[in-house]
Amino acid sequence: MPISRIYTAASASRKKQALSYSKGESNLGPTFTYGKFNFDYSINFQGLKLGFEDKNGIYHYKRDIVGWKHESNIATQTGTFYLQPIEPLNLPDNVTDFIEIEFKEITIEPDGKAVVFLTIPIEIGVFLEAKNGERNLLDIVTFCHPKFSLYGAASRGVITRFHKSEVYAMPPSVENYKEGLLRLEIENDTDKWAAVGRVVIYQKGLNLYYDETTVSACAKMIIRTRDVADVVGIDQPIREGMTQCLQVFEQRKTTPFCNIEGALLDTTFTMDMGMR
């Protein structure tokens, strides 16, 4: 599958203020190592084999994850590459710009606020870097099996990358090669009790960060009425020392793939087809 993406460090000029959540004890097994590596670094991890071979000045890239293979030839003098989490919206094809997370319903009092943590699926991007710092997305892999859903109706709705999550009051330990954490702040801006059981986030608002154990993102949901809420991503790490990921985005023929008129403004998505 050819890889062609536009990537940006979203809102890089804005200063990010980390939150104050500590690292939990992990007993989930091995953790995946993200970061910058030389071409002599190879990976053999949980069924993923990845590496570069020098063939008389031309590098040959090979990747195999449980039988799903990709190869490419690369001409470069730097010999460095990056591994980082990316938004889970690229595989098996570019179907949607939206991720939908379903969770056990939360009831929030009038004018109330709540902060919860949800899991989100992730994909892993393999980036090349040139001498001038220009990065190119070479490959994408995933340890997840993507599922898709329809938020709303066929005549008025949006296709989403679907994921189910438990609800946590504090950041849990997760397998950092499969899942990340979404810190979701929910604000009930009404004078009545409100119930929420899902959130839909637009890709451009999903800003990922990582450290040696965790991948994370932040978002805010503002409940406007019983059945309508605005959801916006927040470009912020959940703790100090996390590295910001490059945001991957492919320009689609229909951007975004959404037939809910007026539901999207910049990175804010209006959930006006229900929250449960």
Contact 196, 105 (CB under 8 A): yes
Q: What digits encode the pLDDT tens for the residues 168-201?
A: 999 999 999 999 999 999 999 999 999 999 999 9
Query: For residue 52, what are its two tokens?
Result: 């570069």
Residue 11 has pLDDT above 50, yes or no: no
CA neighbor of 263 nearest in space, from 221, 217, 231: 231
Q: What digits encode the pLDDT tens for the residues 243-275?
A: 999 988 665 544 455 667 668 888 899 998 888
Contact 3, 140 (CB under 8 A): yes
Please name every residue paired with 164 in a beta bridge, in sequence order, or none if there are none. Answer: 102
| Helix count and strand count (H, E) for the chain | 0, 22
Burial per residue of 138-152, b for 16 or more beta-carbon CB atoms within 10 angstroms, e otherwise: bbbbbbeebeebebb
Average pLDDT over the chain, rounded to an integer: 86
Q: pTM for this one?
A: 0.86
Q: What digits encode the pLDDT tens for the residues 197-250?
A: 999 999 888 999 999 999 999 999 999 998 999 999 999 999 999 999 998 866
What pLDDT sits at residue 43? Answer: 94
Query: For residue 21, what are its two tokens?
Result: 């959540």
Please count the CA atoms within 13 angstroms of the CA of 142 that sit on its side-chain side.
18
If one compares 141 and 131, the residue with the highest pLDDT of the two is: 141
Percent of the chain at pLDDT above 70? Answer: 85
Contact 247, 97 (CB under 8 A): no
SS3 call for 117: strand
What pLDDT sits at residue 8? Answer: 35
Domain residue spans in the chain? 32-271
What pLDDT sits at residue 157? Answer: 86
State how far the Cα of 70 lies from the Cα of 1, in Å rounded to an integer. Answer: 8
